[in-house]
Amino acid sequence: MKEYLIKSGSEVDLSKWDPDDKRLCPEGKIEGLKSLLEINHDLEMLQELLYAENKHRVLIILQAMDTAGKDGTIRHVFDGVNPQGVRVASFKQPTAEELAHDYLWRVHKQTPGTGQITIFNRSHYEDVLVVRVHSLVPKEVWSRRYEHINNFERLLADEGTTILKFYLHIDADEQKERLQSRLDEPDKRWKFDPGDLKERALWPKYIKAYEDVLSKTSTPWAPWYIIPANRKWYRNLLVGKIIVETLKGLNMSYPEVSFDPAKITIE
Ligand code: ATP
Ligand code: MG
């Protein structure tokens, strides 16, 4: 999966990343969906082990342009996983109380506890994305945040949190198609947000802001992966695989019990 990992310190040019790429599953969608079923199963087991061992914390961050599929990724990758074991935190426009604090205040509260997996649907990265693109704070303010973010994530990692960050990469044509299908299909219409068109008009500015995020905040303790996301099945497969591989790498085991089961008789 190293193909999709951003090495710390490298400059990212998103025009060089193909959103249609499917090189780890050239056989196509049917094979991809079969592999995803295995991933779902592995994830179910690994989540239970994580909870039982009660040692690690796992934070998964999803960022993307509108319609790239943050919700769909969560739904499909975690299909079958015990809903008690995974929590999703969504970050919308900050409330008045949140705005009265530093931008990491609301984020830190949502980070996973021991034995837990938390998925961030949007995150503190909005504070260098939408905030930058719309000039919600001056440049001197947002430009300092990359360093804060790296240090904040370092703190979480030092204290036992495994962090994975995914940028779901679609292109503007794919977004156009997805927005159009939300208009065309009556049961998708509720998802259409006319405000998304205003954001779409800012596409190049968002891409620049994402390139800076990916270039400045992919660290050994909290790496970014760029996920080709024009094909939904490939996006789900890749995100799932990376999470499973990372969890396997934690070498978790069930806790030792303090009794000898052979000596216990249940009347
Ligand atoms: P959906 O798929 O349901 O549209 P969404 O994540 O786009 O999901 P929305 O309620 O449509 O949810 O949008 C949330 C909005 O909040 C986004 O436009 C996002 O950029 C904005 N937002 C998130 N964090 C911040 C922030 N720190 N400052 C300003 N805006 C923010
Ligand atoms: Mg939205």
Can you tell me the mean pLDDT for 234-251?
A: 98
pTM for the model stands at 0.97
CATH superfamily of 2-250: P-loop containing nucleotide triphosphate hydrolases (3.40.50.300)
Structure tokens of 127?
């504070």
Residues with CB under 5 A from ligand 2 (ion): 193
Comparing 59-63, 189-193, 229-233, the range with the smallest average pLDDT is: 189-193
Shortest-distance Cα residue to atom 9 of ligand 1: 92
From CA 109, how far away is CA 111, in angstroms rounded?
6
1 pLDDT above the threshold of 90: no
Ligand 1 centroid distance, CA of 123 (Å): 9
Which atom of ligand 1 is the closest one to the Cα of 121?
6
> Between vectors from CA 251 to CA 248 and to CA 71, what angle results, nearest 5°?
35
pLDDT at 85: 85
pLDDT in tens, 34-85: 999 999 999 999 999 999 999 999 999 999 999 999 999 999 999 999 998 8
Write down the residue that tokens 């997996």 correspond to.
Answer: 117
pLDDT at 18: 98
Pocket of ligand 1 (CB under 6 A): 66, 71, 91-94, 122, 126-127, 130-131, 193
pLDDT in tens, 99-131: 999 999 999 999 999 999 999 999 999 999 999
pLDDT in tens, 129-142: 999 999 999 999 99
Can you tell me the mean pLDDT for 189-196?
A: 94
From CA 256, how far away is CA 250, in angstroms rounded?
17
Can you tell me the mean pLDDT for 218-232?
A: 98
Ligand 2 centroid distance, CA of 91 (Å): 11
Which atom of ligand 1 is the closest one to the Cα of 134?
29
3-state secondary structure 52-74: HHCCCEEEEEEEECCCCCHHHHH
pLDDT at 40: 97
